[in-house]
């Protein structure tokens, strides 16, 4: 297992980005490609926080090009950043599917295979199997 100190946080991360970096690396074996994705996710979190703060200052409605009330363009940007963050986290594996065990870490292709089996054969097809043999000693 790689220690957290082996991967210091990238320069310029703000509070939530730094917390995401540290919390994600805690107990995670990180490959170089995962570190790149994690850094992107951390920067996205910080950008979202900055845009939300700016939106709070300017408000959800601003003056349009003809002085008409218009939706603040930050709303669209925040939404886009949140969607991108969700995709990056899913790619990183931080957003673990509900059917994945807490200690289990599946590769993207294994998650895809599991999703395909569930789609074609139903969700029960991917549930862990109960051990039925040998019977427990209390049954005899």
104: exposed, middle or buried (Cβ count in 10 Å: 0-12, 13-18, 19+): exposed
pLDDT at residue 124 greater than cutoff 90: no
3-state class (DSSP) for residue 113: helix
d(CA 96, CA 104): 9
3-state class (DSSP) for residue 71: strand
Tell me which DSSP letter residue 5 carries.
G
End-to-end CA separation in angstroms for the chain: 44
The pLDDT assigned to 85 comes to 94
Per the rule left: phi > 0, alpha: psi between -120 and 50, beta: everything else, 27 is left
Q: Each residue of 2-55: pLDDT tens digit?
A: 444 578 999 999 999 999 999 888 877 778 888 999 999 999 999 999 999 999
pLDDT exceeding 90 applies to what percent of the chain?
48
Ranges 28-37, 107-116, 129-138: which has the least confidence: 129-138
The pLDDT assigned to 33 comes to 86
95 versus 49: which is more confidently predicted?
A: 49
3-state class (DSSP) for residue 134: coil
Supply the angle between the helices 73-92 and 32-58 in degrees, to the nearest 10: 160
pLDDT at residue 111 greater than cutoff 80: no
- List the one residue out of 68, 1, 77, 3 whose CA is nearest residue 44: 77
Under the banding of pLDDT at 50, 70 and 90, the label for residue 92 is: confident
The mean pLDDT of the chain is: 80
pLDDT at residue 136 greater than cutoff 70: no
The pLDDT assigned to 108 comes to 65
pLDDT at residue 138 greater than cutoff 60: no
d(CA 5, CA 22): 10
């Amino acid at each position: 297992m790689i220690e957290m100190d082996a991967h210091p946080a990238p320069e310029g991360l703000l509070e939530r980005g730094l917390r995401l970096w540290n919390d994600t690396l805690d107990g995670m074996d990180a490959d170089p490609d995962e570190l790149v994705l994690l850094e992107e996710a951390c920067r996205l979190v910080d950008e979202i926080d900055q845009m939300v703060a700016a939106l709070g200052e300017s408000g959800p409605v601003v003056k349009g090009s003809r002085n008409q009330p218009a939706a603040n363009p930050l709303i669209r940007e925040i939404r886009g950043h949140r969607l991108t963050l969700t995709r990056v986290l899913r790619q990183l594996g931080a957003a673990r599917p509900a059917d994945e065990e807490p200690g289990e870490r599946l590769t993207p292709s294994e998650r895809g295979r599991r999703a395909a089996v569930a789609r074609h054969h139903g969700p029960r097809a991917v549930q862990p199997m109960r051990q039925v043999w040998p019977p427990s000693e209390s049954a005899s």
